Amino acid sequence: MSMLSVIMDAANNLAPFAKMGAGMGAGLAAIGAGIGIGRIGGSAMDAIARQPEALGDIRSNMIVAAALVEGVAFFAIVVCLLILFI
């Protein structure tokens, strides 16, 4: 019986679980950003290896694409911050 009441209590008071969810969400966003930007960096390395004289163009395009992907990851961060602080 006491275990049931503990579970009922946990089900009623879900605020700590919301915080845990926010933490996990932020971690998943970091994984997504890491994978995305890692792929961008990898393709940039391949492209530079193929054609070293295009270094400048490739570098600036890589940085732009990385900033855009990071923007998407920041959406998730903003949602997690909203959960934690509002």
Residues forming the site for another protein (CB under 8 A): 60, 63-64, 67-68, 70-71, 74-75, 77-78, 85
Q: Which is nearer to another protein, 17 or 74 (CB)?
A: 74
Q: Which is nearer to another protein, 6 or 23 (CB)?
A: 23
Question: Which residues, including other chains, have CB under 8 Å from residue 37's CB and lie 6 or more apart?
Answer: 66, 69, 70
Q: Which is nearer to another protein, 47 or 61 (CB)?
A: 61
CB 50 to another protein: min, Å: 23
Question: Which residues, including other chains, have CB under 8 Å from residue 41's CB and lie 6 or more apart?
Answer: 62, 66
Place of tokens 């969810």: 21
